Amino acid sequence: MDPKDIKKEYTNGEVTVVWQSGKCIHSGNCVRNNPEVFQPKEQPWIKIDGSSTDKIINTVNKCPSGALSFYMNKKQ
């Protein structure tokens, strides 16, 4: 796998955030809008339990490159 094109998923059970490294332009919108979740100096860098599902969705929607996306998990 090309290290420049990594795809990872992070879920809190309600929403799943998808990160595609190859699309990331490092705008920093995610970090500025939700630093409790998006922590680029940490491993893993997305701490999905750091804030509410609504705030996570709002932050992902501000990603200008499309590197971050999300989908809602099915209700049990």
DSSP notation for 12-38 = -SSEEEEEEGGG-----HHHHH-TTTB
DSSP notation for 41-56 = TSSSSB-GGGS-HHHH
The CATH number for 25's domain is 3.30.70.20
Parent domain of 13 = 7-72
Residue 76 pLDDT exceeds 70 = no
Asked if residue 2 is part of any domain, the answer here is no
Q: pLDDT digit string (tens) for 12-70?
A: 999 999 999 999 999 999 999 999 999 999 999 999 999 999 999 999 999 999 999 99
Asked if residue 1 is part of any domain, the answer here is no
Asked if residue 41 is part of any domain, the answer here is yes
Asked if residue 13 is part of any domain, the answer here is yes
Asked if residue 63 is part of any domain, the answer here is yes
Asked if residue 35 is part of any domain, the answer here is yes
Number of folded domains that form the chain: 1
Distance (Å, whole) CA 15 – CA 28: 21
Cα first-last separation, the chain: 33
Residue 5, pLDDT score? 84
